[in-house]
Amino acid sequence: MGRSYQEEYKSKLVTADQAAAMVKNGDWVHYCHLSGKPIEFDEALAKRTNELFDVNLKGAVTIAPAPKTIMGDLKQEHFTWNASNFSAMDRKFQELGNAYYIPWNFHDAHRYVMETFVMDIYVTQARPMDEHGYFNLSVQACFAIDEIEKAKIVIIETNDKLPHALGGYGECVHISKVDYIIEGPNHVPVTLPEQSPEATTEERKIAEYILDEVEDGCCIQLGIGAFPNYIGTVICEGDFKHLGIHSEMFADCYPHLIETGMVDNSNKTFMRNKSVYAFALGKQSTYDYIHFNPGLAMYDVSWCNRPDIIASNPKVRSVNNCVGIDLYAQVASESWGFRQISGTGGAADFVRGAYDSEGGKSYLCMTSTKKDKEGNTFSSIVPTLPAGTIVTIPRYQVQYIVTEYGKIGIKGYSTWQVAEKMISIAHPDFRDDLVKEAQKMNIWRRSNKIV
C-alpha cells in the first residue's frame, strides 16, 4: 500500500496572506510566467505595498490579469518588475518606467538560475497534488524545476483548471520540494482567442516560400506569434508523411497538424514517436488537447532548446519571426531602438540547431515593411540597425531570410553579395535608397544588380 502524503500536505497549507507575509525588504520574488503566474499570492502581496521596500519581482510574458503589485506601485517605490521576456503588458510597464528586461538565451536557463539569479521566494500555479505526492506544473513548466531547486522558499498555488502536461523532464515537482501550498480558486488559464487573426496577403506569400521547403520526414519548429502559427495551418493543407514536432512552444496549429495524420514523429531521433515542447500558449481547445495526452512530452527548456538535441533530429525546419534586419544581415527579433518588444527567447537556439541538423534549415521571416504608431510606413530592411537595437541573431548564424518578395540564403556569402540579396527582398519603394546606403558602407559593387 502506497504512502499517504495528506498529512504533509496539510502541514504546508497556508493562506495567500500568510504566504505573502514571508516577503521581506530587499527580497527577490520570482513569479512563474503565463498561466503559472500566481494570482492569489500577488493580490495578497499587493496589500503589503506600503510596508515593503526594494522588493524585486521577476516574471516573463505577463498576460492579463496584470500583477496588482506592479499596478499599485507604478512609481517603483516598493516593487521593481524584471522580465526575461516581454509581452504587450510588459512593454506598457516599461513605458511607465517600472519594467526591466533580463537578457538570456533560453536554453541556458538552468545556468542563469543556478549561477546568477537571487531567489528568495518562488511562486507558481500548478495542478493539485496527486496520490503520489506530485504537482504537475502544467503547460508553463519551462525552467520551473530549476527555480524550485534554487529558491529558498517554494510556494505552490493550486489550480485544477490547468491542463495536466505529461512530460519527459521538469514537468512536475514532489511535495518534498515544496514549502507552502495555497489552495487557489481555480482561475481559468491564460488563453489566446479561439478565432485566429486572418493572414495578410504578405504573410500568405511568405508562407508559400516556406511550404516549398517542407518535405516528408521534416521536424517542425514554429516560433511565437500569429504568423508562425499560420505557417502550421498551411502545412496542414499539404500532403506530407512522417513529420515530427520539436518546438519551444506548442502552438495552436499543432493539434490540427497531428490529427491530419501527417505527424507521427517516426523520423525523429530525440523522443521518437512523441511531439516535444517546453511550454504552451494557446486556445482553450489546445490546452484540452494537451491534457493527459501521451503523444506529447514536455521538457525543461534547458533540454528542449539545446542546439545539439534539436540537431539530433534530421530535416529540422525552424520558422521564427523577426522585427528587422540590416544590410549586414544582423537580425533584431526582440527590440527596435530603445524599445524592448519581446525577448531573445529560443530563436537563436533553433537557428543553430536547425543548421546543425542533417538536411536542416532555419527561416527568419518578416514582412518587408511595417508601420509606426503614427501610421508611417518604413522598411523592415535597413542599412544599419537603429541605435539601441539589440542583435538577436548575429549575421554569421543566419541561414535563410524570407519576406513577401523572396527567400534568400546568406551563409558563406561576401558582404556585397549579402547586401545585394537583402535589397532584392526589400520593398521596391525602398530599394534605391538602400543601394545608396550600401555604397556609402562600402558593401556594394558596380556589378551588383537587383532582380
Q: Is the pLDDT of residue 223 over 90?
A: no
Q: 88-126 pLDDT, tens per residue?
A: 999 999 988 889 999 988 999 999 999 999 999 999 999
pTM for the predicted model, two decimal places:
0.93
Buried b (16+ CB within 10 A) or exposed e, 79-98: bbbbbbbbbebbbebbeeeb
Q: 317-367 pLDDT, tens per residue?
A: 999 999 999 999 999 999 999 999 999 989 999 999 999 999 999 999 999
At residue 1, the pLDDT reads 34
Least confident of 184-193, 239-248, 364-373, 377-386: 184-193
Query: What amino acid is encoded at 311 in this protein?
Result: A
At residue 140, the pLDDT reads 92
| pLDDT tier at 259, thresholds 50, 70, 90 | very high
CA 140 – CA 343 distance, rounded (Å): 17
Buried b (16+ CB within 10 A) or exposed e, 206-234: bbebbeeebeebbbbbbbbeebbbbbbbb
- pLDDT mean over 234-239: 92
Quick one: which H or E segment has residue 379? strand 377-379
Reply yes or no on whether 259 is catalytic. Answer: no
Average pLDDT, rounded, for the chain? 94
Which one of 40, 248, 420, 437 is the catalytic residue? 248
